[in-house]
């Protein structure tokens, strides 16, 4: 949650690594949001006897970054150090935890870290009301444990198709709605008490104070769903991402896009950067984070794919030049005009799942080179939109609909719709 900037912050945080037969890359971008509230974890080789295990996670914070940041640093230790996770181990033995112990230990770890954070002074006294989703995967030599709490999402791509996806925890889901109502709450406009868009999360203690109810029976539950899947030779890659990614791309679209990009580059950071850039150009107005984990059977760089991609870039560069030269007599066209013309054309070999948005950076680079002195460096209509947006946000601040601003998100969504309408002409 939070208001929007006049123009997006497109600087990215990247990391990559390898080990245990895996390679990973990650990218995160603040985007249009005023604050960056996402966080992530990437550990290849879990300490204290599980060096051949790995753990990756994405945390999508809301109402602040406190909970997301703490979980990114400490959730793994809460999982692996609790008695349920280590139950089958004996002192000095190399015995790995059983499947049931791992699943039980993950659940216990979530409940314990949620209980632990509740005692932080700023969270206890209400000065900080932040919360966070969490989606992750723990990978052992034989199994993958997919972990989800909230509406971030993980997908497994195996043998050329989406093999598995976590399920988002939304208040309107029958099971979630029943728990919310049993705790004395309601689901309005698909939100908990008309405010929170997720029904499970870490933190969010305003929604976890119903007397006589346990931690998993509250309006918002910290309990994760854990799904164990046997590893297979056909496993290609896993994607973990926040809803800033999934809001504008389906499971299949994102996996096909990633597959196509892996065929033109083995740089996983670059592939992840292409994803967040494409989602930004598809209209995402949220923070965006993605972790890409590749197995040995992941798509490899193809000379044919590299050649076709280079030809596509060259074609787009030529078309932008032609459009701008043709329009030059009537004045320099704006970027939206160029995009509209290209969108109407049947351009071959655009990245599947990404389309023209997957090549927006190429288009903008040529446009900027040919029109270096344009007044507005952002999208056309941005100045007018941002001015109106500022007035609406200020009016929103003055309204103070209630002491927690529970309806702020409604106006923010209206502002997002207004922006998109302006950009789409």
Q: Looking at per-residue confidence, does 251 or 414 come out higher?
A: 251
Give yes or no for residue 37 having a pLDDT over 90. Answer: yes
DSSP letter string over 34-85?
SS--EEEEEEEEETTTEEEEEEEEEEEEES-SHHHHHHHHHHHHHHHTSTTT
Tell the CATH superfamily of the 303-370 domain. Phosphatase 2C, C-terminal domain suprefamily (1.10.10.430)
Q: pLDDT tens across 138-165, in order?
A: 999 999 999 999 999 999 999 999 999 9
Q: Which helix (H) or strand (E) holds 28?
A: strand 22-33
Residue entry with tokens 């500022």: 390
pTM recorded for the entire structure: 0.88
Q: Residue 331: how many CA atoms within 13 Å on its side-chain side? A: 4
Distance CA 418, CA 421 (A): 5
Q: pLDDT tens across 82-91, in order?
A: 999 987 655 5
Residue ranges per structural domain of the chain:
4-294, 303-370, 382-423
Give yes or no for residue 135 having a pLDDT over 70. Answer: yes
Give yes or no for residue 327 having a pLDDT over 80. Answer: no
- Architecture of the domain defined by 4-294: 4-Layer Sandwich (3.60)
Q: How far is CA 237 from CA 26, 50, 116, in A?
A: 13, 21, 33
- Grouping H, G, I as helix, E, B as strand and the rest as coil, residue 408 is helix
Give yes or no for residue 398 having a pLDDT over 60. Answer: no
Give mean pLDDT, residues 14-42: 98
Q: Do domains 4-294 and 303-370 have the same CATH topology?
A: no
pLDDT given at position 192: 98
Q: Which of 94-98, 146-150, 307-311, 407-411 has the lowest mean pLDDT?
A: 407-411
Residue 403: both structure tokens together:
């002491």
Kindly report the backbone phi and psi dihedral angles of residue 419, in degrees, each rounded to the nearest multiple of 5, phi listed first: -60, -50
The answer to whether 281 touches 350, Cβ cutoff 8 Å, is no
């Amino acid at each position: 949650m939070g208001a929007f900037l006049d123009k997006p912050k497109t600087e990215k945080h990247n990391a990559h690594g390898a080990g245990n037969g895996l390679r990973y890359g990650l990218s995160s971008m603040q985007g249009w949001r005023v604050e960056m509230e996402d966080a992530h974890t990437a550990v290849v080789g879990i300490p204290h006897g599980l060096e051949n295990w790995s753990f990756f996670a994405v945390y999508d914070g809301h109402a602040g970054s406190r909970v997301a940041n703490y979980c990114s640093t400490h959730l793994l230790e809460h999982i692996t150090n609790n008695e349920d996770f280590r139950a089958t181990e004996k002192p000095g033995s190399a015995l790995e935890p059983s499947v049931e112990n791992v699943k039980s230990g993950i659940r216990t770890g979530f409940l314990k870290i949620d209980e632990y954070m509740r005692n932080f002074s700023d969270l206890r006294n209400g000065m900080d009301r932040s919360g966070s989703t969490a989606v992750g995967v723990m990978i052992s030599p034989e199994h993958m444990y997919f972990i989800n709490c909230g509406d971030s999402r993980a997908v497994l791509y195996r043998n050329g198709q989406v093999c598995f996806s976590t399920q988002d925890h939304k208040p309107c889901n029958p099971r979630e709605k029943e728990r919310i109502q049993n705790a004395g709450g309601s689901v309005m406009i698909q939100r908990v008490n008309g405010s929170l868009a997720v029904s499970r999360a870490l933190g969010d203690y305003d929604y976890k104070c119903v007397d006589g109810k346990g931690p998993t029976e509250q309006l918002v539950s910290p309990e994760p769903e854990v799904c164990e899947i046997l590893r297979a030779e056909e496993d290609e890659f896993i994607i973990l991402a926040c809803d800033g990614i999934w809001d504008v791309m389906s499971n299949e679209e994102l996996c096909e896009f990633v597959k196509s990009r892996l065929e033109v580059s083995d740089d996983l950071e670059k592939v992840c950067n292409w994803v967040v850039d494409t989602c930004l150009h598809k209209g995402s107005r949220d923070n965006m984070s993605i972790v890409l984990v590749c197995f040995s059977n992941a798509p490899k760089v193809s000379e044919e794919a590299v050649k076709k991609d280079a030809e596509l870039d060259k074609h787009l560069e030529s078309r932008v030049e032609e459009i701008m030269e043709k329009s030059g007599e009537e004045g320099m066209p704006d970027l939206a005009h160029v995009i509209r013309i290209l969108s109407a054309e049947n351009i071959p070999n655009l990245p599947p799942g990404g389309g023209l948005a997957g090549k927006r950076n190429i288009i903008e680079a040529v446009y900027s080179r040919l029109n270096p002195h344009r007044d507005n460096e952002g999208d056309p209509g941005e100045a007018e939109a941002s001015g109106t947006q500022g007035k609406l946000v200020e009016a929103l601040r003055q309204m103070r609909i209630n002491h927690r601003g529970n309806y702020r998100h409604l106006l923010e969504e209206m502002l997002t719709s207004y922006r998109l309408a302006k950009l789409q002409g």
